[in-house]
Amino acid sequence: MQAVVDYVGSVAENFKSKLGPSLVEVYKIGSLAHGGFSQIYSDIDVGLILRCPNPPINMDRMIAEAKALDDAYGKKLSIFWGNPDRTWGRLPVLDRLDLLDHGVPLLNNQRAKFRRPTREQVRQELRQSVERSWRPKIGELTGLAELEPKDRKPYIRAILYPARLIYSWDNLAVDSNDRAVEYLRNVRPPGLDLVPIEMALACRQGKCSAEDVFSLNADLNRQFERTVSYISP
């Protein structure tokens, strides 16, 4: 874990040297910030808050350089960046919530401060994420006869997705997989099978394998339908 922390620190210093005074702060976000980081299943999420009126030139090159600081960890690095008062950058609604509630400053000890997304903005982003990220994976993963190494991460994510979605839908917030699954145990959405979700969480915690989760033969289509039914008016 210390190697990941050191890498993220080097990423922060790299952006500081390149962006200068236009950089307000660099943050750990995602599971590095709110807990539950998995060396196998987690991305390395970093947020940048800027104070310039226009996006910096060569931002793609700077991100590529940050990834190149470590061959292994660079493949997991996701950079979320922007000026919250502007429409440019890559700072979606859910990542804004994560920055506000959990962002860990790495340079100047400056907590993120900007307008919180509204209830409708959060729920609209969640609806879009279902169509953009979850629904397209269902058919692909349902058709698998066996779980190959490349399929482990997307499969575990797809199994856990109902917990993350329902937690954020009800609470207008983002939190760890652990917290989301705990919330699901309490609300128990009708018809949603919690067994594969619980095992997927155990998989992230290193208590079982992705193949163990796959062997449950979870009905992904039914899980999708029950989750969508829960968030539908």
Return the domain boundaries, the chain: 2-105, 119-231
Percentage of the chain modeled with pLDDT above 70:
100
What's the sign of the alpha-carbon dihedral 15, 7, 107, 125?
Answer: positive
Mean pLDDT along residues 179-203 = 97
Mean pLDDT value across the chain: 95
> Does residue 233 carry a pLDDT above 80?
no
pLDDT at res. 44: 97
pLDDT band at 181 (very low <50, low <70, confident <90, very high): very high
Other C-beta atoms lying within 10 Å of the C-beta of residue 1 = 8
User: In the CATH hierarchy, which fold is given to the domain comprising 2-105?
Assistant: Beta Polymerase; domain 2 (3.30.460)
pLDDT in tens, 105-159: 999 999 999 999 999 999 999 999 999 999 999 988 998 999 999 999 999 999 9
pLDDT in tens, 23-45: 999 999 999 999 889 999 999 99
Q: What distance in Å separates the CA atoms of residue 117 and residue 121, rounded to the nearest whole number? A: 6
pTM, to two decimals: 0.94
Q: What distance in Å separates the CA atoms of residue 135 and residue 132, rounded to the nearest whole number? A: 7
